[in-house]
Chains A and B, each alone.
Chain A
Amino acid sequence: MNINTTKIISLLFFIFSAFYLYTAYQIQVFAFDENAPFNARTFPIYLGYTGLFFSGLKLILPDPDTIKVEHKTLEYKKTGILILIAIIYGATILKVGYFLTTSLFLFASYYFLGERRWILMFLLSFPFVAAFMYLLHGVLDIYLRDPFLKSIGVMG
């Protein structure tokens, strides 16, 4: 059986809009605002109905220009690994610090994308991040928290 993915996305959006609309009705407004012509829940309620309307139309109307995606040709593994590395990067950046986590993130990303020129990989991670960090922190005066560099006495 052929499943039209665009229709599935539309169905998901329809469900999402219904949930959004339900949540919009739950927004607590001040008692004196309850019957006002406009309060904090008015706009979200309109948006919820509009979402239901458009996704409903997309579900009902025929879709002659269906987009077919060849899933077998897609690179899910590398994409998944990159996303995982990014999540780990996000989880460690505050605790470990900008310099080390960013350099390792770049190095790991180059590696998992198939790069094996170690010197170039190193140059485009550690020294590159150091230079960029100097630009942000030293030149543009944008504060960067870095417990690792602080612990080894590089940053104050």
Chain B
Amino acid sequence: MIEGILIGLTTALTFQNIFMVMIGCFFGTIIGMLPGLGPMTAIALMIPITYGFDPATGLILMAGVYYGAVFGGSTSSILLNAPGVPGTVATSFDGYPMAQQGKAGKALAIAAWSSFAGGTLSAIYLLFMAPSLSKVSLSFRSPDYFALMILGLTAIAAFSSKGQFLKAMMMVVLGLMLASVGQDSLSDITRFTFDNMNLTDGISFVLVVMATFAMSEALTIILKKNDPTAAAKQVSLTELGSIKINKEERGKMYKTIPRSSIIGFLIGVLPGAGATIASFLAYGMERNLVKDEEKEKFGKGSVNGLSAPETANNAACSGSFVPMLTLGIPGSGTTAVMLGALLGFGIQPGPRLYMTNPEIFWSVIMSMYIGMVILLILNLPLIPYIARILAVPKNYLIPLILFFSITGIYVMSFNNFDIYLMIGIAVVATFLRLYDFPMPPLILAFVLGGLMEENLRRSLLLSNGSWEFLWDRTLTVCILVTTILIVLWHIYKTLTKKKS
């Protein structure tokens, strides 16, 4: 492991990679601050640029964007009570009241230090957990992988559906259907191409991500007459107050951070869960653990109430890398986008990545530490200024998002058809978004579609067409039972909600 850490450090500490982390953190912070434009959009817009670099640098850039976006999301939660990303909703519960009391600078500092500590601690957990899990996952067989993918897709549908599980499952099926377009990987037989040569290689992953996130988000903003930058204009540079944290506040954070980082990391590792659930759970847990006197302050500007979700959401980001790096199965929509980008580089993440491409595996982990440090020293003093930059009118912001999306596709294919297809998918996605059909399950399914078919093919061929492979191995059964429990839990929650 020491050797790996050194390889990672050597790669991550090159001038180019440190620069990429800085760019990623900065760009991610800006996008993350804009309500509605989350880390997935930020990463999607970066994908075409990453193809100009080697895979390690590309992934480091995307990881920087991811952390920056989560950090930027908490800034808008605190300053504007408008969470940039869902994972920072819980941050606004105590962050915004603090800002209203004239302690915005302090709230930002608490959030920044908590994010830094949460991210750093979880990167340490990742450092120890990922290699061990990689070794364990080498014993996984095709049926286990197939079951694991079913679990991942069901979980993301259950957690991201806001109570609309069937809608999310429909999006999963749509994602798998889109992934099935093009040549069959084994026989080279074309499927669903309708004799169109442009579809023979299938639909590009970048195209689907750009269409369903960047482009459809831009169209939704115009359609709903939202102005994500309007709130940023209200930020006052002179009223942020001191960013110093006193001894008593530090004492509170010392207790909150370790427990919130553990819960955040563990939730992040679970397929489909992620920063949003982690931050809410950490907030709830913290409220139960503090003294009655502190409990009274929750929702009114509590230091513990702000520190807990901020620690947990950053820890969950690192945690979500575990299934992607070790199993090749992303646990969230954001890591699904990263997995897709890695596949574009010709790299297959999974248990063997640790051995075949150690420089990628370790440099990503190492760059997380560097990213956290950069976020702290670069963003904290610059936050008020970055917030002012965001007062760019939407009349400029929207065309620029469309421009980056279309350019991203154009430089990859030099093909009009792909641009038309992207516009078509974006229009459908915008319409579906209006009726609360979630997009992350579609992306995860699209990324996993090929792998899922491959593993089902191997499992069915090995068992001579029998579905017995689903209960032949204990591990497969355990994974499928977990899937069933998630579905049952979801049905139970829906029924109890209806009764209440």
User: A6: nearest residue on chain B (CB-CB)?
Assistant: B435
B187 touches A40 (CB 8 A): yes
A13 touches B224 (CB 8 A): no
B464 touches A87 (CB 8 A): no
> How far, in Å, is A100 (CB) from chain B's closest CB?
14
Please tell me if B434 contacts chain A, counting CB pairs below 8 Å. yes
Interface size class of A (residues with CB under 8 A): 35 or more
B177 touches A47 (CB 8 A): yes
B423 touches A75 (CB 8 A): no
B184 touches A40 (CB 8 A): yes
Q: A38-B456, A38-B457, A90-B416 are in contact. Are A115 and B166 (CB under 8 A)?
A: no
CA distance A145 to B423 in the complex (A): 21
Q: A28-B189, A55-B170, A140-B52 are in contact. Are A89 and B406 (CB under 8 A)?
A: yes
B403 touches A74 (CB 8 A): no
Main secondary structure of the interface of A (DSSP, over half): helix
Please tell me if A131 contacts chain B, counting CB pairs below 8 Å. no
Residues of A within 8 A of B457 (CB): 38, 42-43
Top-4 shortest CB links A-B: A37-B465, A90-B419, A109-B399, A140-B52
Q: A17-B173, A55-B170 are in contact. Are A40 and B222 (CB under 8 A)?
A: no
Residues of B within 8 A of A33 (CB): 187
Residues of B within 8 A of A94 (CB): 414-416
Residues of A within 8 A of B395 (CB): 110, 113-115
CA distance A36 to B169 in the complex (A): 29
Give 7 A-B pairs besides A20-B192, A79-B223 with Cβ atoms closer than 8 angstroms. A27-B191, A42-B460, A51-B170, A51-B177, A79-B222, A90-B419, A94-B415
Question: What 0/1 pattern do residues 23 to 53 of A give for CB contact below 8 A with B?
Answer: 1100111100100111111111001001100
Which of B174, B189, B222 interacts with A78 by CB under 8 Å? B222
CA distance A141 to B464 in the complex (A): 50
> How far, in Å, is A103 (CB) from chain B's closest CB?
10
Question: What 0/1 pattern do residues 138 to 181 of B give for CB contact below 8 A with A?
Answer: 00000000000000000000000001101101100110110010
User: A74: nearest residue on chain B (CB-CB)?
Assistant: B223
Interface residues of A in 69-87 (CB under 8 A from B): 69, 73-76, 78-79, 82-83, 86-87
A54 touches B166 (CB 8 A): yes
B176 touches A47 (CB 8 A): yes
Please tell me if B498 contacts chain A, counting CB pairs below 8 Å. yes
Taking Cβ atoms with an 8 Å cutoff, the residues of A that contact B are 5-6, 9-10, 13, 17, 20, 23-24, 27-30, 33, 36-44, 47, 50-51, 54-55, 57-58, 61, 64-65, 67, 69, 73-76, 78-79, 82-83, 86-87, 89-91, 93-94, 98, 102, 105-106, 109-110, 113-115, 120, 124, 132, 136, 140-142, 144-145
CA distance A136 to B435 in the complex (A): 38
Interface size class of B (residues with CB under 8 A): 35 or more
Please tell me if B427 contacts chain A, counting CB pairs below 8 Å. yes
A5 touches B435 (CB 8 A): yes
User: A86: nearest residue on chain B (CB-CB)?
Assistant: B423
Q: A50-B173, A51-B177, A54-B166 are in contact. Are A38 and B460 (CB under 8 A)?
A: yes
Interface residues of B in 175-201 (CB under 8 A from A): 176-177, 180, 184, 186-187, 189, 191-192
CA distance A98 to B436 in the complex (A): 36
Q: A73-B225, A79-B219 are in contact. Are A30 and B187 (CB under 8 A)?
A: yes
Please tell me if B352 contacts chain A, counting CB pairs below 8 Å. no
A38 touches B465 (CB 8 A): yes
B219 touches A83 (CB 8 A): yes
Residues of A within 8 A of B2 (CB): none
B437 touches A89 (CB 8 A): no
Residues of B within 8 A of A27 (CB): 189, 191
Residues of B within 8 A of A109 (CB): 398-399, 402
B396 touches A115 (CB 8 A): yes
CA distance A82 to B180 in the complex (A): 30
> How far, in Å, is B16 (CB) from chain A's closest CB?
12
CA distance A58 to B146 in the complex (A): 26
A76 touches B406 (CB 8 A): no
CA distance A75 to B219 in the complex (A): 10
B402 touches A82 (CB 8 A): yes
